């Protein structure tokens, strides 16, 4: 083989090598890992639609400097911490890879109208994101989590960090207040209990000590333990009810104290549920009715109070 032939062969090989590099570079550069591009400071509305045959729909809306969560005719303040988390997830939503762009394989990743949750985002009147949130996976070998997302109207299904996308499967109750008491333990001066067809019981604080019926001192250490549980009490499971009108009242606790505009009234009602027979509400959290069994919220507020009067009933 003469030198001229060697040069031709070398030139062809070089051209093939450079062509492959260029094609590879173009393929790499065509993959944009930013699934959406939003300005978190300009987002003012986010709509969530859960998966399933009976999807839950609700919206987060900016109201001046604050946010509210709105579902049907219910509107509740949304905590800045929760909003910050959602906006952070949206602004850092990046893809690891494309897993498919074939509609026949969407169900493998729980991307379909019935399986995927949906998140829609607006900046003013402009909709800047329309996402479908698919399934969640956890790899035991690598101890890593991942899930799947696609833009509505586009074929690509992306694999993303699992925990990042799971936060976008938000539910309305995540944004509802769960507190029943909004007064410090030190400010409380009186606790009044009323039961159904039972005599009223009152425990008051005088000179830093708590007394039953204004006379008999109660065990300070034990009562402070009760108060600590009382002021930190939070509901964990919401009832579908937004009002307790028409329900049978079982017990009522009224809290008064310093730095309180109005007393806090916590009520327990009978529920038609054998596992969680109590419905509990508080005047400081209107519109919220919590379910409870006899060992949960109901015990912390009502049952744990009873040992501090003579008959304990």
**C-alpha dist (Å) from residue 172 to 11, 24, 143:** 65, 45, 30
Q: How crowded is residue 25: how many other Cβ atoms within 10 Å of its Cβ?
A: 10
pLDDT above 80 for 81: yes
User: In whole numbers, what is the pLDDT of the chain averaged over residues?
Assistant: 87
Which pLDDT does position 18 carry in this prediction? Answer: 47
**Cα distance between residue 165 and residue 18, in whole Å:** 39
pLDDT digits (tens, 9 = 90+) for 192-247: 999 988 889 999 998 889 999 878 889 989 999 999 999 999 998 999 887 888 89
pLDDT digits (tens, 9 = 90+) for 174-189: 888 899 999 999 999 9
Its pTM stands at: 0.74
* Exposure on the CB side of residue 299, measured as CA atoms within 13 A: 5
> Strand, coil or helix: what is 123?
strand
Could you give the residue ranges of the DSSP H alpha helices within 246-292?
Answer: none
pLDDT digits (tens, 9 = 90+) for 125-138: 999 999 999 998 98
């Amino acid at each position: 083989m003469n030198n001229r032939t060697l040069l031709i062969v070398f030139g062809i090989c070089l051209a093939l090598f450079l062509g492959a590099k260029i094609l590879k570079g173009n393929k790499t550069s065509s993959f944009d890992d930013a699934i959406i591009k939003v300005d978190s400071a300009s987002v003012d509305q986010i709509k969530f639609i859960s998966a399933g045959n009976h999807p839950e729909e609700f919206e987060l809306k900016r109201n001046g400097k604050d946010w509210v969560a709105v579902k049907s005719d219910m509107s509740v303040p949304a905590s800045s911490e929760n909003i910050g988390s959602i906006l952070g997830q949206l602004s850092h939503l990046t893809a690891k890879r494309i897993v498919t762009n074939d509609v026949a394989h969407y169900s493998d990743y729980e991307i379909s109208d019935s399986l995927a949750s949906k998140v829609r985002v607006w900046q003013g009147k402009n909709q800047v994101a329309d996402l479908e949130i698919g399934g969640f996976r956890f790899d035991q070998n690598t101890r890593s989590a991942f899930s799947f997302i696609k833009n509505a109207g586009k074929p690509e299904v992306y694999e993303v960090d699992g925990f990042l996308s799971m936060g976008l499967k938000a539910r309305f109750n995540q944004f509802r207040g769960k507190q029943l008491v909004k007064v410090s333990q030190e400010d409380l001066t009186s606790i009044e209990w009323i039961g159904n067809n039972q005599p009223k019981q009152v425990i008051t604080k005088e000179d830093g000590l708590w007394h039953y019926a204004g006379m008999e001192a109660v065990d300070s250490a034990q009562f402070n333990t009760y108060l600590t549980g009382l002021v930190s009490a939070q509901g964990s499971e919401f009832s579908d009810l937004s009002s307790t009108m028409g329900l049978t009242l079982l017990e009522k606790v009224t809290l008064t104290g310093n730095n309180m505009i109005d007393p806090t009234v916590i009520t327990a009602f009978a529920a038609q549920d054998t596992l969680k027979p109590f419905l509990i509400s508080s005047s400081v959290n209107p519109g919220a009715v919590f379910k409870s069994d006899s060992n949960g919220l109901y015990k912390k507020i009502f049952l744990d109070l009873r040992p501090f009067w003579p008959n304990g009933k």
